[in-house]
Amino acid sequence: MKKKYNGFYLMCSFPERETFIKAAVKGLEHFDFLEIGVPFSDPIADGPVIAEASHHVLSNGFTFNDLISCLKEIRNLAGNDKDIYLMTYSNIIFNRGADELNSLSRDYGIRGLIIPDIPFCEKDFFRKIDPPVKIPLVNFITPESSEESIKGISGNNSPFIYFISKRGITGGEFTLDEETRGKIKLAAELSSSPVVLGFGISDSSSAIEALKNSDGFIMGTVLAEILKNKGLDEYSKFIDQLFTDIDHFMA
């Protein structure tokens, strides 16, 4: 049985730098990994909450150097035991080049890249960039993935498999129909990597439902909403209660 692998998503420097860093460090007390969103002007997978957070950060003059500075401070404060992933889009990868990204992996232990607009079938093409990006890519499976596709993706090396639990964008309601449950089960049986559910997980109930059906979950939109509307103290209380509930379920 695979060890559960739970993660949380935060937009880098949202709602501002210091709160983001404190929120990241707090989350890493409980979660196994942090997915850091790199602000992008034209996101395709992000729902309105995350998209608004991205535009907010960019309007405040965010640069790639800000990302580096945040990574350095998070590692200094939280240590190196937990995994960090970067979530971004292919345009940023092609424009920044591989050298800068590879140095982030080397210096700050970036475990992988989560790039929604590079499907599995284009992964090899992406790897042919010269110089090559050496950071592993996280593979995606969706409710639309065929059985053949799931078999191919599950047999390919990936730090974890990001199973997008619903059709559409981040946020919204978390529901799993029987067909999707079957695809999650198939991926988990075939993959040596954790199969982790994301999109729509917003509370203890949906997190526990995800854990019943997969190897873990990713929570993001609700955390951005709490940080923006209620602040860091309420964010911390929410995470503490979330894992109290999860610990009771896992006991």
Active site residues per annotation: 35, 46
Residue indicated by tokens 């890249």:
113
Buried b (16+ CB within 10 A) or exposed e, 72-109: ebbbeebeeebbbbbbbbeebbeeeebeebbebbeebe
- Reference 162, options 110, 85, 91; nearest CA is 85
Would you put residue 140 in left (φ > 0), alpha (ψ -120 to 50) or beta?
A: beta
Residues 219, 207: Cα–Cα separation, whole Å: 8
